Amino acid sequence: MSNQLKVGFIGLGIMGAPMAAHLVKAGHQVFVHTRSKVPTDIAQSTAIPCSSPQEVGEKADMIFTMVPDTPDVEKVLFGDKGLAHGLSKGKIVIDMSSISPIATKEFAKKINALGCDYLDAPVSGGEVGAKNATLSIMVGGDESVFHKVKPVLDLMGKNINLVGANGDGQTAKVANQIIVALNIEAVAEALLFASKAGADPAKVRQALMGGFAGSKILEVHGERMVKRTFDPGFRIELHQKDLSLALNSARALGISLPNTATAQELFNSCAAHGGKAWDHSAMVKALETLANFEIGQKAS
């Protein structure tokens, strides 16, 4: 194709693999690297595996990273055989991980010093959004760079917004994760209450969907709570990481986020019961433990 780009994608996990697959499907030349085995569908596609982030940086002009946490991004960018060692002037790095806004600003400065551009572009929408290319993408960085990258972001998401400068995309993602956690907690309390009161939680959920209490969380995670399907999705340990970013940043800003702290404690309880790899909708299990009652159980 005439508008084929040389695109790099580092991190082929639950989210990264389908995101990279969309770029391959669009006909771009995609260079990939991941710390574990390259997923079969990517390996059998036209994607070109690379031995290190450095090699991806050498071969691609626009490189996306999608890894779990701040130290992982730092290692990919600046570690041994890191991406920065393979970059040359004019290339663009787009980090789609959810990490510290403060660290992001430092990473951007280092990449800029190499004559390259940097965008932070964390996503929301989970595995379903990644597979369906319907992710919300929150971008921080230079407007002209954003417009260069936007056609490629359009292949992975639907609601794509430039929030502000480097770091602001990550700040928006932290805000997103606060809202998601508190919504999960609210839906869990409501369905637990309804079930313990003797009502059918599935029917209560259906009744609430069309009203003011309706939400994506009630729709997707409410169903998980009723059906007891807690395979991730989005792992509790990753949401714990995001809420730690929120609470640490709040302390630095001198503000209180009391309900965010409560949500984190409920996640901590799940993790203590062996649930760090459960889907984050399983926060309901911590509330069920407190109530000594499980949604869908027969109320006595």
* Structure tokens given for 116: 């390259």
Quickly tell me which residue has 């572009």 as its tokens. Answer: 121
Q: In angstroms, rounded to a whole number, what is the distance separating the alpha carbons of residues 241 and 78?
A: 21
The residues that bridge with 65 in the sheet, in sequence order, are 10, 95
DSSP per-residue string spanning 12-81: -STTHHHHHHHHHHTT-EEEEE-SSPPPHHHHTSS-EE-SSHHHHHHH-SEEEE--SSHHHHHHHHHSTT
Beta carbons of 170 and 120 less than 8 angstroms apart? yes
* Structure tokens given for 102: 């403060």
Beta 62-65 vs 6-10: how paired, if at all? parallel
**Annotated catalytic residue: which of 59, 91, 105, 173?**
173
Q: Is 6 a catalytic residue?
A: no
Catalytic residues: 173
